[in-house]
Each structure stands twice: as structure tokens, then as C-alpha cells.
Amino acid sequence: MTNVRVRFAPSPTGPLHIGGVRTALYNYLFAKKNNGTFILRIEDTDQNRFVKGAEDYIIKSLEWAGMVPDEGPVQGGEYGPYRQSERKELYKKYADQLVKDGKAYYAFDTPEQLEEMRTQLREAKVANQQYNALTRTKMTNSLTLSAEEVQSKIDNGDPYVIRLNVPAKEEIRFKDMIRGYVKVHGGTLEDKILLKSDGMPTYHLANIVDDHLMKITHVIRGEEWLPSTPIHVLLYRYLGWEDSMPEFAHLPLLLKPDGNGKLSKRDADKHGFPIFPLNWTDPIKNEVSLGYKESGYLPDAFINFLSLLGWNPGNDEDLFDINKLIELFDIDRIQKSGAKFDIEKAKWFNQQYLKEKSNEELGANLHDFLKTQNVDCDEAKCIQIASFMKERVTFIHEMYTNSKYLFEKPDSYDDKIVNKKWNNEAAEIIMDFAEKIKAENNDDPQKLKQLLMSVVDEKGIGLGKVMPCIRLALTGQGGGPDLMEIISFFGIKESVDRMVNAVEKLG
Ligand code: GLU
């Protein structure tokens, strides 16, 4: 395949949904796999639906996920501008050309006339109340008016739109790379508006003109665009671009966790998981929705998780870094059916990636996180925490939230352990152990272990009886990372203080 060029073409009508990130990812993987070009095009022709900050959010989200476009509003490129609002002068001539060729027509209908048509169709129990081959004959358009009437309306400044003249009796066919051949009867399609009365193109016209001018070879997008594709195919044909028409691949939906219907923000909120890659603050309501990034997901884990929502490599493996994903990715292995969303799987991926990271990287991240919590802990200490906690958590922040005792003395002790294990003998041994480590003043975990063994041997008591009590004294809890590592982390003085405190409190 030569010169693969794909685009991710979001409309900045809000934050990027996780489904949009998956679409971007499949485009990105396909481009990289084929040494192609990954383009970001902002489809912002619908000014009514424009949301402040959405474009910036899309760009930042792609950046966080590691999918930096080769061409786009930030990078520029030979085929720019990459924002449709900056290309608006370009589209009208194609709409005019279509009118000239009889493939589109002017429609002067007022909103009242359109409503009246719909009402009549509804009353006549017609299922689709659309402007189409049947209804257009009764409306005010250049197919029903004379050329003079049309010209005088235009000269008069009457508002008009340009509509596609969809053939009523033709079958429109195209091949989808995932779904195979798709056939749609022209009679079921609407004469879509191509150019609005304000001179702005609609999605359909702008999308086709830009895909053509930007030499897009493959259109990889969500399933919700499948019904628009016959319109697009007609546009390619009518504009004389059929030979260079891109191939289409419509991606399966992301489904709710129970598999019943499309995944929505409401489902995500209900189950308590994010739907957006980054935090999003609604510019009107000022409400903040938590993102994957801020929830503690690592970008590579998030990408790995997302890659498998609708695609699989054909074997049981599931851990792939981005390079491996690029190597393995194949459109033929994208499924037709929807992909059930399972946040537990996302957590599992995060855990797998987290434990493979270096202590230094995790320590630096923990350090940053602690700053946001106003917890003072130097970076060397954070690296040490990472070393003994990384196998035990799913998210970096859990190194703090699940083990606050690492940062502050415990103010309570787990009752279950106290009742089961704590007694005078244990308290005595703890004091002995505290004395010994104080005297030795060496916080090497091996050395500490030896000292503990010597105390236990002297008293002739099992290690299993003492260890939980020492842990309880140090952390207030019944479980956690290796005890000697913890003592070493606290240092001798802090460890002794904690043991003495516990003995004083628990008797
Ligand atoms: N602007 C459309 C969207 O918001 C693009 C669909 C397409 O890729 O053609 O998803």
C-alpha cells in the first residue's frame, strides 16, 4: 500500500469521549503500520455546536495518549489549514458545481414550510418525514421553480440551502473493510443539505471535499457514520472523484458494561469510571468530569486497554506496548460486533504497566502526586516507597491513599489483629526488639531480620506470633509490604517511636 493517509476528524462540540480516542488510536496504528500519515482535522463548521476549549482538549488528549498527529492545526502541513472554519471559502464552489451538473439543487423552503411537510407526512403515517425524491416535488426548490423564479429569489436575497439530489431508484453500494459490501436504496435516503443558508458547508460536504483535497486514502471512523456513507459515496461520484474515493472502515460501538446499548457518560458516572481521557471542566456548568489521566491511569496502559476494545491480535496475548501494537495491528481483525466496556480490565492493565516501571519513574510521579496533597516527602523516599509498593497497587496514588501510615504515625490499630494477636508477651518482645535495633542502629533489612530472629530465638516464640504485632505497631494494619523494608524506610528512630507508642496504647 502506498502513501496511506488517514485522518481523525473530531468536531469540537465537547470533550473527546473514550470512543473517540479509540477511533484516533485505530487511525494512528493503521497509519504507523503502513508508514503513512496520521492527520488531525478539526471539523468545526457547525458554529452553533462549538464548545470553548474543546479543540485544545482534543489536542492535549492525543498528546497525553502519545498520538501526536503528523499533520494538523498545531503541526501544520502541506494540505492545511486543518481547521474547517479556516477553509470555509473553499466549499461553496463544489456545491455550485453540483448544482450546475444537476446533482444538487437550491431549496428556498422556510422553516414553516418544512414543518408543514413533516406534519402532513406524519398524519399520513409515513415513517420517514424527510426531504427526498418524493417530497421534493412539492417544495420550493430549483427543481420545481423555473430558472427565472430561482434567479429572482437569489437576486432578491431570499435565504436558500443547497441539497443533494439523491437518485430515488438507484442502489448505492460500497465496500466497508470491516463489514463487507453495504447496499442502500436511494429511495430511503434524504436529500441532505450540503450548503447552509449562511454559506457554511454541512458536515457531509466539508468532510468529502477535505478528504479528497487532503488525499485521504482510508476513512476509519465510528459505526454511527455508516448511514452517512451512501451520501458520501454519491458525492464522490458526482464530484468526479470516484476513482480516488477512500476505503471505509466503520468501527464497532463501545457498549455498556452489561453489553446492553451504547456506552454513555451516564453509564460511566453510574459505575464510577471516567469517560474522558483528561479532566474536563464544562465551560457553562463549571462541573468537572474526572479523566483517565487524573484517575491515575498510565497512558501506555490506557492505550493497550483501548486497543483491545474491538480488535484482537488473534492469540491469547494482551500486553503490547505501542510499537508492538503497530506491528500487530490489522484492520481485518477488527470485529463487527460492539465491544463491552470493562473497567476492571483497564485497572488490570494499569497494574501490569505500573509494576514494570522503574522505581525512579514511579517515585518521581508519586512525589508530584504528594505535592498536590500537601504531603512533604522527598523524592529519594518516594523512590523507596515505589520499590516496595509497586506490586501492591493499581494506581500510584494508592501508594499514599492505601498506606497513609508511611507518611504519618498510626492513630488507631486494627481491632481484629489486636484481639487475635496482641498480648503481654508480644509487647515484651516488641520492646526487646526496639532496644536491640536502637543499639545496633543499622537499618539494613537483612540486619534487621537477623536481630528479630535472635530476639525470637531467645524467647522461644514463633515468628508468626510476633511479626503481625510488630507490623501492627508500626502501621496500625494487619497486612502490607515486607516488614523489614518498612522499618528500613522509617529508619530506626521512627520505628522505635512507633513501637513504643503502640505498647503504651495497647498495653
Ligand atoms: N466530524 C465527525 C465527528 O465528529 C467526523 C466523522 C468522520 O470521521 O467522518 O466524528
> Which pLDDT belongs to residue 47?
80
> Which pLDDT belongs to residue 127?
86
Checking if the pLDDT of 1 tops 60, the result is no
Which residue shows C-alpha cell 420550493? Answer: 140
Q: Which of 28, 174, 221, 245 to mutate to test the pocket of ligand 1 (most atoms within 8 A of CB)?
A: 221
> Cα(390)–Cα(382) distance, rounded to whole angstroms?
11
Q: Which amino acid is at 408?
A: E
- When pLDDT is averaged across residues 336-351 and rounded to a whole number, the result is 97
Sign for the pseudo-dihedral over CA of 208, 213, 219, 222: negative
For domain 265-356, which CATH number applies: 1.10.3720.10, 1.10.1030.10, 1.10.1160.10, 1.10.4100.10?
1.10.1160.10
Which atom of ligand 1 sits closest to the CA of residue 13? 4
**How remote is the CA of residue 332 from the centroid of ligand 1, in Å?**
22
> Cα(69)–Cα(24) distance, rounded to whole angstroms?
10
Which atom of ligand 1 sits closest to the CA of residue 9? 5
pLDDT bin (cut points 50, 70, 90) of residue 323 is: very high
> Cα(417)–Cα(270) distance, rounded to whole angstroms?
35
Let me know if 340 is a catalytic residue. no
**H-type helices in 127-273, by residue range?**
147-155, 203-213, 229-238, 265-271
- When pLDDT is averaged across residues 482-487 and rounded to a whole number, the result is 95
| 430 Cα distance to chain centroid | 51
161 burial (CB, 10 Å; 0-12 / 13-18 / 19+) is buried
Residue whose CA lies nearest to ligand 1 atom number 5: 9
**How remote is the CA of residue 20 from the centroid of ligand 1, in Å?**
9
Q: Range(s) for CATH 1.10.1160.10 in the chain?
A: 265-356
Which atom of ligand 1 sits closest to the CA of residue 11? 4
> Cα(308)–Cα(330) distance, rounded to whole angstroms?
12
For 413, the 3-state DSSP assignment is coil
At residue 161's C-alpha, the angle toward residues 155 and 165, to 5°, is 115
**How remote is the CA of residue 182 from the centroid of ligand 1, in Å?**
19
Which residue shows C-alpha cell 476549549? Answer: 53
- What is each CA distance from 157 to 66, 151, 154, 163, in whole angstroms? 49, 10, 5, 18
Task: Assign a CATH topology to domain 409-506.
Answer: Arc Repressor Mutant, subunit A (1.10.10)
- When pLDDT is averaged across residues 9-36 and rounded to a whole number, the result is 97
**Which value does ipTM take for this structure?**
0.98
> Which pLDDT belongs to residue 149?
97
Write out residues with Cβ below 6 Å of ligand 1: 9-11, 43, 203, 207, 221, 225
Which atom of ligand 1 sits closest to the CA of residue 221? 8
**How remote is the CA of residue 250 from the centroid of ligand 1, in Å?**
11
For domain 357-400, which CATH number applies: 1.10.8, 3.10.310, 2.30.29, 3.30.1360?
1.10.8
Laid out side by side, the sheet with 180-185 consists of: 37-40, 5-8, 218-222, 247-251, 171-176, 180-185
Active-site hit among 92, 265, 324, 345: 265
Q: Is 125 annotated as a binding residue?
A: no
Residue whose CA lies nearest to ligand 1 atom number 3: 10
Spatial contact of 39 and 30, defined as CB atoms under 8 Å apart: no
Q: Range(s) for CATH 3.90.800.10 in the chain?
A: 88-195
DSSP 186-215: GGGS---EEE-TTS-B-HHHHHHHHHHHTT
Instruction: Indicate the class that CATH gives domain 5-73+207-255.
Output: alpha beta
**How remote is the CA of residue 206 from the centroid of ligand 1, in Å?**
11
Which atom of ligand 1 sits closest to the CA of residue 219? 8
- When pLDDT is averaged across residues 357-363 and rounded to a whole number, the result is 98
Spatial contact of 22 and 236, defined as CB atoms under 8 Å apart: no
> Which pLDDT belongs to residue 347?
98
**How remote is the CA of residue 482 from the centroid of ligand 1, in Å?**
52
Which residue shows C-alpha cell 488490570? Answer: 348
Strands 247-251 and 218-222, bridge-based pairing? parallel
> Cα(55)–Cα(20) distance, rounded to whole angstroms?
13
**pLDDT digits over 222-241, tens only?**
999 999 999 999 999 999 99
Residue whose CA lies nearest to ligand 1 atom number 10: 10
> Which pLDDT belongs to residue 420?
93
Q: Range(s) for CATH 1.10.10.350 in the chain?
A: 409-506
More confident residue, 316 or 216: 216
> Cα(115)–Cα(419) distance, rounded to whole angstroms?
76
Q: Which of 7, 18, 41, 43 to mutate to test the pocket of ligand 1 (most atoms within 8 A of CB)?
A: 43
Q: Which amino acid is at 28?
A: Y
Q: Range(s) for CATH 3.40.50.620 in the chain?
A: 5-73+207-255
Task: Assign a CATH topology to domain 88-195.
Answer: Glutamyl-tRNA Synthetase; domain 3 (3.90.800)
> Cα(392)–Cα(318) distance, rounded to whole angstroms?
21
Q: Range(s) for CATH 1.10.8 in the chain?
A: 357-400
> Which pLDDT belongs to residue 182?
97
Torsion of CA 116, 150, 206, 244, to 10 degrees: 120
- When pLDDT is averaged across residues 299-324 and rounded to a whole number, the result is 96
